[in-house]
Amino acid sequence: MTINNSIAELVGNTPLLRLSRFRQRFALPAEILAKLEYFNPNHSIKDRIALSMIEEAERSGRLKPGDTIADSTSGNTGIGLAALAAAKGYPFRVYLHDRLSEERFQILRALGAEVIPFSEVEGFAEVLEQSDGDFVAASRWLGENVITRQPNVFHTAQLENPANPAAHSLTTGPEIWQQTEGQLDIVIAAVGTGGTVSGIGRYLKEQNPAIQIIAVEPGPHSIPTAENPEAREITGVHAFSQVLPERVPPTLDRRAVDEAIAVELWQATAAAREVAVSDGILIGESAGAVLHAARQVALRPENHGKRIVAILADSGLSYLSTGLFDASITPGQLQVAAIYNPNESHHESDYVTTHS
């Protein structure tokens, strides 16, 4: 019999799926293989770093019985930490952006986490306003001024913890290499903390320096700014190529990245909906962004016949309340809303379609 004793034993070893019908639908000259990270026990790639950060802290003695684990997160890391903390007997406290999907709040509370929305942290509204909503700046302030000042708390600090990218150097990268028997040309992943592209990139480039690592970041219309503070973001995807150095997470190793591709929310939405009906997989916003980028890369003449591995980070089940799969709201309407003045009159057909 094969019986596991903890969900910690279920993390990793996720499948690769050839997106045959998606490729056929768009007549892609390159092959796309999807690394389906929603096969992790808590349905996202962040289970890997949650396990890595907790177990490294246990080994080093920084995390002791009776301590509370805490971090700020855009959702999936928090869910992974909450589940693994519960399985290991630790309390867990998480700080979340108020705009995240209701499913995330419900899941975290179901796992026993103490959930604190950003709006309930004294002084934090001013920090968000001053940083234009930047996640890195906000998380750094929370860590320095709130989390680390509490007694008996271990701050996992996912944005700077080396156990984050190490999880992907030790597990995700080797899995991809073994599953493809080293026959791959390009890997595409979204940048949140940067740990995924950094860890996978380091490992695979050690095996074959010719493998290209492409990082996905949000386009300009999917980033809140002082001029557009209400811009809808791609959950868990953060800009890194055109931002101040202090806003780039230390867990991102730019040396492992060959190219950055900017994707807008409406493009991510379209791709997530397309692959749901073409190949029967339900993916989240960041995974949709990666798939949109993969399709662009697959259409490049120089990539004819090549093999692309797309890291699809999580399940679409955590986005059902966000409108990601709401057919009454088209990607074209999201595009119009993001780009044009809502007080002006426009029609969806007036603008470029989302399939460009």
**Is the Cα torsion angle 273, 275, 281, 287 positive or negative in sign?**
negative
Which DSSP state fits 71? E
**Residues ≥6 apart with Cβ < 8 Å to 292:** 263, 267, 268, 270, 271
Which single residue is written with the structure tokens 């999936």? 76
Q: For the chain, how far is it from start to end, CA to CA, in angstroms?
A: 51
Is residue 284 within 8 Å of 237, Cβ to Cβ? no
Q: Is 46 considered catalytic here?
A: yes
| Sheet containing strand 307-312, strands side by side | 16-18, 31-36, 307-312, 186-190, 212-218, 259-263
Query: Hey, what are 137's tokens?
Result: 């700046």
Query: Hey, what are 266's tokens?
Result: 């409406």
Task: Give me the catalytic one of 35, 46, 88, 205.
Answer: 46
Cα 208 to chain center, whole Å?
25
Is residue 240 within 8 Å of 259, Cβ to Cβ? no
CA distance 309 to 56: 28
| Residue positions annotated with a catalytic role | 46
